[in-house]
Chain A
Amino acid sequence: MPAVPQPITTENRPRRPVNGRFSSYRQLLLARMKELYREPELIFWIFIFPVLLAGGLGVAFRAHAPSPTAVAIVSGPGAARARALIADDLNLQVSVLPAPVALNDFRFGRVALVVIPGPQGQYTFRLDPARSESQLARLQVNNALQQGAGRRDPISVGDQVASESGSRYIDFLIPGLLGMNLMNSGMWGVGFALVEMRQRKLLKRLVATPMPRSQFLAALATSRLVLMLVEMVLLLGIGVLGFRMQILGSLLTIVVVGAVGAVSFAGLGLLAACRAQKIESVSGLINAVMMPMWVFSGVFFSYQRFPSMLQPLIRGLPLTALNDALRAVILEGASLRSQALRLLILAVWGCGSALLALRWFRWA
């Protein structure tokens, strides 16, 4: 008897193992991590680029032994005496030059100070008050001359030399780079990834299945947290191993701050992605959101330099809050509780944008 195909109905289908409640979440996360791992460009931007940046800037701005300040003495009577008196100061590099040459060198910043001997044994200093090294040279030369001539200081003082890690530029830089990196990868990793999936019609394909959307978003958020840990280990690792940076805060506190930051920027990324159909438009949007924060949020230099009027606005930016909190816990060993306000700012940005995003999100 020929086999007659039976229509498939709920009754006659073979029994099979049932998928668990969170099977979608697990497979989505697994797939996402594999995709990330297999994307060489992404590996570069998320991992290698920040490490190169930290390494490059750290080396460029590493603390030098201060180089001696150059000082010129105009040749003539009195020049030799002055030279003899100053020569002992190790921090000064003295040369005797004819007046036009000395003045020219001063004008072009090759010397910080010109000492002009007068006919009666007096000296005139030519200096630029706007140049701190010029002022400093004046103090040093004056001291050397006066002490050489027999001045006795009434109060005895001594120096205690200290060069502590924690106050160097690299110490300032590493937490800032970490914050910036969490912002970049959060916004791109969520915002760009989602729009790309929408453009490929993959989002539409996924919502045609019974896949729970909450598990899809949870898997995306989890992948962000995993990446955050890796980014953190890399950047703090290069700080500690490459620049002998000291981490004062507890690792758990640092991870919690990083996680709040990562999730907050994931929320912003979700908002950026909620309507855009093309990756070009979401790229523009993401850059427009991130650009002000690169400048204002104190990644490379302190935002204290901006006018005080702007300070409250700057402090309200999520990246400022994240950078400040990261610096406080990493460099000063601050407690989580002391960072409550900054964490709250991050949470408000993250939750607010995620809620708006979910309301407006275009799945199909």
Chain B
Amino acid sequence: MDVMPAAIRCSNLRKTYDGQVEAVRGLDLEVAVGECFGLLGPNGAGKTTSIEILEGLLEATSGEVEILGRTWKHHRRELQQMLGVSLQETRLSEKLTVRETVALFASFYRRPQPVDTVLETLSLTEKRDAWVGKLSGGQRQRLAVACALVADPQLLFLDEPTTGLDPQSRRQLWEVVRELQHQGRTILLTTHYMDEAERLCDRLAIMDHGRVMISGTPAELIAQVGGHHVLEFSVAPGSASENGGREPVSDAMLRRLPGVQGLHRDDSRVALHVAEPHATIPALLEILQRHGQELAHLSTRQASLEDVFVKLTGRHLRED
């Protein structure tokens, strides 16, 4: 196969609003053709600003952007024909039907996909004659994606396509994104749901405060937290004072337990990143007992991107 240019390449991208708000502070990305790439980060991380610069809607303060081997400065018309965009908060006209809306967007492109095909892909065929104002949140988001997909784009930008949706609608949109991936389209999506990024994205970058903190495949990122499992426990309140003068279990002691690769405290709850839970649990129980502490809670789970984020920033991705 020929060497294809990257779908998206940007380097040292910066955006400062009004000379003071530094929304993006040096972003480097490279997204290969055919890849589904995720920008994951909390609100205000700079995801929308970044994606809008890549979409050619915002001027970067500095930095280079190359989309499908072209630049916005020299190939604007050509690029617009090749991209499909869904912005974070577009309110489409409420008094048009679903089909009319998609047909309107189709008319902007030289070679659009047939409207009915797109509606079929987005499971909107049943709603084709409903007014946009009467759609549910999930249906509206799918319509927004339909308006992007009707361009028959090689590259799709989806800014928070599932934010605010109920779990079922989110899962429905995930199916759509997978289908688009299967059609061979390149996708850049932003989200602040780590489960979504983990499931959908071939690779992703975690952003915070306008910078990429880490990037790679979900598995690579999770491997970086050290340990693929998380052991969470808490001790019963008061048990430390009735321990007959013995000292409480310190973080340092916990870190020395077999298999422990990392530790994070969240109020009374302790999370240990471990390689193999079965090696760590007996030792943990033993040390707690020795210090007269009683377990109130103990669970193990697979490490997630959330743990990666917490480890990198000390904060949770979504504070709610």
Contact check, A364 vs B57: say whether CB atoms are below 8 A apart: yes
Q: Does A202 contact B (CB under 8 A)?
A: yes
Contact check, A19 vs B96: say whether CB atoms are below 8 A apart: no
Contact check, B184 vs A39: say whether CB atoms are below 8 A apart: no
Q: Does B217 contact A (CB under 8 A)?
A: no
Contact check, A5 vs B182: say whether CB atoms are below 8 A apart: yes
- The B109-154 residues at the A interface (CB cut-off 8 A) are 109-114, 131, 147, 151-152, 154
**Chain B residues within an 8 Å CB radius of A28:** 104, 107
Contacts A5-B182, A7-B186, A364-B57 given; indicate if A200 touches B90 (C-beta within 8 A). yes
A9, A10, A210: the one contacting B109 at CB < 8 Å is: A210
Contact check, A208 vs B56: say whether CB atoms are below 8 A apart: yes
Q: Does A1 contact B (CB under 8 A)?
A: no
Task: Count residues of chain B with CB under 8 A from any CB of chain A.
Answer: 45
Contact check, B4 vs A7: say whether CB atoms are below 8 A apart: yes
Contact check, B90 vs A8: say whether CB atoms are below 8 A apart: no
**Chain A residues within an 8 Å CB radius of B112:** 16, 19
Contact check, B77 vs A208: say whether CB atoms are below 8 A apart: no
For the complex formed, measure the closest distance between the CB of A208 and the CB atoms of chain B, giving whole angstroms. Answer: 4
Report Cα–Cα, A243/B104, bound state, in Å. Answer: 43
Q: Does A204 contact B (CB under 8 A)?
A: yes
Q: Does A31 contact B (CB under 8 A)?
A: yes
Contacts A16-B112, A19-B111, A28-B104 given; indicate if A210 touches B91 (C-beta within 8 A). no
Contacts A31-B93, A35-B93 given; indicate if A204 touches B110 (C-beta within 8 A). no
For the complex formed, measure the closest distance between the CB of B74 and the CB atoms of chain A, giving whole angstroms. Answer: 15
B77, B81, B87, B111: the one contacting A16 at CB < 8 Å is: B111
Contact check, B105 vs A209: say whether CB atoms are below 8 A apart: yes
For the complex formed, measure the closest distance between the CB of A15 and the CB atoms of chain B, giving whole angstroms. Answer: 8
**Chain B residues within an 8 Å CB radius of A250:** none
For the complex formed, measure the closest distance between the CB of B179 and the CB atoms of chain A, giving whole angstroms. Answer: 10
- The B153-202 residues at the A interface (CB cut-off 8 A) are 154, 181-186
* Max count, chain B CB within 10 A of own CB: residue among A8, A13, A364: A8
Interface string of B48-60 (1 = CB under 8 A from A): 0000000111100
Contacts A201-B89, A202-B90, A209-B151 given; indicate if A5 touches B184 (C-beta within 8 A). yes
Report Cα–Cα, A15/B114, bound state, in Å. Answer: 11
Q: Does B34 contact A (CB under 8 A)?
A: yes
Report Cα–Cα, A209/B149, bound state, in Å. Answer: 12
Contact check, B90 vs A6: say whether CB atoms are below 8 A apart: no
Interface string of B90-110 (1 = CB under 8 A from A): 111101100010011111111
Report Cα–Cα, A218/B113, bound state, in Å. Answer: 25
Contact check, A8 vs B184: say whether CB atoms are below 8 A apart: yes
**Chain A residues within an 8 Å CB radius of B85:** 205, 208-209
Contact check, B93 vs A205: say whether CB atoms are below 8 A apart: no
Q: Does A142 contact B (CB under 8 A)?
A: no
Report Cα–Cα, A31/B93, bound state, in Å. Answer: 9
B34, B57, B106: the one contacting A204 at CB < 8 Å is: B57
**Chain A residues within an 8 Å CB radius of B110:** 18-19, 210
Q: Does A27 contact B (CB under 8 A)?
A: yes
Q: Does A168 contact B (CB under 8 A)?
A: no
B91, B108, B185: the one contacting A8 at CB < 8 Å is: B185
- The A189-248 residues at the B interface (CB cut-off 8 A) are 200-202, 204-211
Contact check, A34 vs B109: say whether CB atoms are below 8 A apart: no
Report Cα–Cα, A202/B55, bound state, in Å. Answer: 15
Contact check, B95 vs A38: say whether CB atoms are below 8 A apart: yes
Contact check, A9 vs B154: say whether CB atoms are below 8 A apart: yes
**Chain B residues within an 8 Å CB radius of A23:** 107-108
Contact sample, A vs B, 15 pairs, CB 8 Å cutoff: A5-B183, A6-B184, A10-B154, A16-B114, A17-B111, A18-B110, A19-B111, A31-B104, A38-B95, A201-B88, A206-B108, A209-B151, A210-B108, A210-B109, A211-B108
Per CB-CB distance, the 3 closest pairs between chain A and chain B, nearest first, are A27-B107, A210-B80, A7-B34
Q: Which B residues contact A (CB, under 8 angstroms)?
A: 4, 33-34, 55-58, 77, 80-81, 83, 85, 87-93, 95-96, 100, 103-114, 131, 147, 151-152, 154, 181-186
